[in-house]
Structures are given as structure tokens and as C-alpha cells.
Structure 1
């Protein structure tokens, strides 16, 4: 049996976002960090996009709807 650790990548609007090592294990802290770069991430939905080329991808997708 072999264990392969996968790296994680976070994307928003087709852009790969940085993952600081001190936040790599804290999804809520990482989301807050990414929201400082793109404030719409606070209201975005988190989608597990699966594994691509050995990297586990998580996407933030903007909530779509109407105002008012």
C-alpha cells in the first residue's frame, strides 16, 4: 500500500489562489484570507472540483441571484 499526499489548490474565477503554509490546514482561515484578495469569496459557494493532475482542487463559485 502506498500513500500519496495530494496538494490542494484553491481557485476563484479561473485564478489559482495562494495558500500560505500557516493556513493550509484551516479552511475557514484560508477562506477569510482569500476574501481579503477577492471580497466576493465571502458569499461564494465552495465546490470540490476533484483531482486534476494530482492536485485536489477546491473552487469558490459566486452566488448568482437577483437583488432586492
Structure 2
């Protein structure tokens, strides 16, 4: 936790590609994962899925596809 805070204080960014997968209802409730992560991950790819809380169980094809694409980037 101290290392995370030090990185935030230093405005350190993640240099690798990052994928954030968000449920569509999260955005409907006003939670914007892209806005939260974009400051830390300039190579951000944001995906919104029609899914409940456990996306890997409810929409495994889309989650697997996003993981494959991240590993190929």
C-alpha cells in the first residue's frame, strides 16, 4: 500500500497496455472505470460488458477474448 501511494504521489503511470472490463450497469450507476484508470494507464482499453458482478462466469467468451487481445498487444 505504501508503494501504491508513493506512485500516486509521483504521478507514476503504467507503461504496459491495460484492459479494464466494466459491467454495463456500473456505468449506468455513474461509475466510470475509464476515467478512473486513464490517469494511471495511458495505453488503456476500456470494455463494457452486459454482465452481472462475476463477469468471468456470466460472460466468459467476452472476458476470454479481452484477455487474448491484451496479451497480443
Same fold (TM over 0.5): no
TM-score (norm 2): 0.26
TM-score (norm 1): 0.27
Higher strand share: 1
Higher helix share: 2
